[in-house]
């Protein structure tokens, strides 16, 4: 099975409710879809969102990096040479992790199709059912409490609460949600770099002494402030998870060496795809550090790939934050991973099992 062409499309899916973090507000998921054609007629699908404030990738940069740097190296390659292809992708251009991720996802999809097996089985197997949390956007306290209660009613047992705005209000937000859900859901906080190290320690100590038990706090400080992250990790009981501070295997090694965080959030858009997500998980596992599998605002094309990795690496990826598809108003993809609120299950369809993408607008060069 040889790669003959790489094509692009745009996929727009409205969100059920605006996605608000300390960094941005988004109302529509608008992602680049990558389609890799092969000489036997099969198509591999990948996807990448623009996350300018996190990875630096934009729609234009994703398409340009693939069209001019990655695609020319891949045309003519045999899909069975997976390691060679991922190496070609990773060395094609510096950074541009979302562009690399979109292409790798499509290549792994084809690799699964080539051998007629779902991707997670080729990655080592696992229990094909996982449970995700859901994001509660940062907002007025009453709105966040109402959103949290609605999520619990929908069956979500873990809530990822976005904070990181005004520290005093943040503490009140979390207290109010904790009181409202009353033990019916685990609470994960994501400050999205919104606090200083001292503010984070103050907020967490205040919450801890008020009896608010948190499963973890994510990225309390600026991405580059690894010292600050260590400062927080050393001083609070709540486990600290690194997100924007850690992209791939090299950052994970540094972070572990410094004992700067307790948990790592792996996202395909940060690692540059599946090959380095696996490396990152393996490095963490070697050091006894657990991981979360997360995603950006993505639909069920690229999130399916993350699901397959999470299933295959579930011994170290102990937490799942793959709520992209459940935040979307509709699911544009008919495929092999079934997203049903908090429960995600994988069928035995080969590769990612994507049969059809509704509303995809092809982009012509």
Select from 88-96, 231-239, 243-251, 345-353 the region that touches Mg ion (CB under 5 A): 243-251
**Structure tokens, 47:** 């996807």
Q: Which of residues 13-32 bind Mg ion (CB under 5 A)?
A: none
d(CA 346, CA 330) in angstroms, rounded, equals 19
**CB nearer to Mg ion: pick between 63 and 291:** 291
User: Which of 57, 243, 290, 298 is in the footprint of Mg ion by CB under 5 A?
Assistant: 243
DSSP 312-325: HTTTTEEEEE--HH
Least separation in angstroms between CB 267 and Mg ion: 8
Q: Quick one: which H or E segment has residue 60?
A: helix 59-65
Number of residues that bind Mg ion (CB under 5 A): 3
Residue 267 a catalytic site member:
yes
Least separation in angstroms between CB 190 and Mg ion: 5
d(CA 271, CA 90) in angstroms, rounded, equals 10
**CB nearer to Mg ion: pick between 218 and 251:** 218
Helices (H), 116-262: 119-122, 141-153, 167-181, 197-209, 226-235, 249-258
**CB nearer to Mg ion: pick between 57 and 243:** 243
Least separation in angstroms between CB 95 and Mg ion: 19
**CB nearer to Mg ion: pick between 57 and 190:** 190
Q: Give exposure, 150-166, as e/b (b: 16+ Cβ within 10 Å).
A: ebbeeebebbbbbbbbe
**DSSP type of residue 78:** B
Choose, from 121, 162, 165, 270, the residue flagged as catalytic.
Answer: 162
**CB nearer to Mg ion: pick between 6 and 216:** 216
Q: Among all chains, which residue has been given the structure tokens 């300390």? A: 22
Select from 56-64, 83-91, 211-219, 256-264 the region that touches Mg ion (CB under 5 A): 211-219
CB 332 within 8 A of CB 354: no
Q: Which residue is nearest to Mg ion (CB)?
A: 243
> What pairs with residue 159 in β-bridges?
134, 187
Site string for Mg ion, 165-194 (x = CB under 5 A): -------------------------x----
Residue 95 a catalytic site member:
no
Select from 97-105, 106-114, 214-222, 250-258 the region that touches Mg ion (CB under 5 A): 214-222
**CB nearer to Mg ion: pick between 270 and 313:** 270
**DSSP type of residue 70:** I
Q: Which of residues 44-63 bind Mg ion (CB under 5 A)?
A: none
Report the phi/psi class of residue 360: left, alpha or beta, with left for phi > 0 and alpha for psi in -120 to 50: beta
DSSP 132-163: --EEE----HHHHHHHHHHHHHTT-SEEEEE-
Least separation in angstroms between CB 41 and Mg ion: 39
Asked whether position 321 contacts Mg ion by CB under 5 A, the answer is no
Choose, from 100, 160, 267, 313, the residue flagged as catalytic.
Answer: 267
**In angstroms, how far is CA 52 from the centroid of its own chain?**
15
d(CA 98, CA 297) in angstroms, rounded, equals 12
CB 249 within 8 A of CB 281: no
Binding site for Mg ion (CB under 5 A): 190, 218, 243
Catalytic residues: 162, 267
């Amino acid at each position: 099975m040889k790669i003959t062409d790489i094509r692009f499309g745009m996929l727009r899916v409205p969100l059920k409710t605006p996605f608000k973090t300390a960094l941005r507000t988004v109302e529509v998921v608008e992602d680049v879809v990558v389609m890799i054609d092969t000489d036997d007629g099969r198509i591999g699908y990948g996807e990448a969102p623009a996350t300018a404030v996190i990875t630096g990738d934009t729609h234009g940069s994703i398409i340009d990096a693939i069209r001019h740097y990655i695609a020319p190296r891949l045309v003519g390659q045999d899909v069975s040479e997976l390691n060679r292809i991922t190496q070609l992708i990773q060395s094609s251009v510096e950074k541009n992790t979302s562009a690399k991720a979109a292409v790798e996802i499509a290549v792994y999809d084809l690799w699964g199709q080539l051998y007629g097996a779902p991707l997670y089985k080729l990655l080592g197997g696992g229990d094909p059912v996982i449970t995700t949390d859901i994001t509660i956007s940062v907002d007025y306290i009453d709105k966040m409490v109402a959103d949290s209660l609605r999520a619990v009613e929908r069956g979500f047992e873990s809530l990822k609460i976005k904070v990181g705005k005004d520290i005093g209000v943040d503490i009140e937000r979390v207290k109010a949600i904790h009181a409202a859900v009353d033990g019916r859901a685990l609470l994960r906080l994501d400050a999205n770099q919104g606090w200083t190290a001292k503010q984070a320690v103050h907020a967490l100590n205040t919450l801890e002494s008020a009896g608010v038990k948190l499963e973890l706090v994510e990225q309390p400080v600026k991405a580059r402030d690894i010292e600050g992250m260590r400062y927080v990790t050393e001083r609070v009981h709540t486990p600290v998870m690194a997100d924007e501070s850690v992209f791939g295997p090299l950052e994970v090694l540094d972070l572990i060496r410094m004992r700067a965080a307790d948990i790592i959030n792996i996202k395909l858009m940060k690692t540059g795809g599946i090959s380095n997500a696996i490396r990152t998980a393996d490095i963490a596992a070697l050091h006894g550090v657990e991981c979360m599998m997360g995603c950006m605002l993505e639909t069920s094309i690229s999130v399916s790939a993350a699901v397959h990795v999470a299933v295959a690496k579930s011994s170290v990826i102990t937490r799942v934050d793959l709520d992209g598809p459940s935040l979307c108003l509709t699911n544009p993809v008919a495929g092999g991973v079934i997203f049903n609120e908090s429960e995600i299950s994988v069928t035995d369809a080969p590769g990612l099992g994507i049969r059809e993408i509704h509303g995809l607008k092809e982009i012509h060069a």
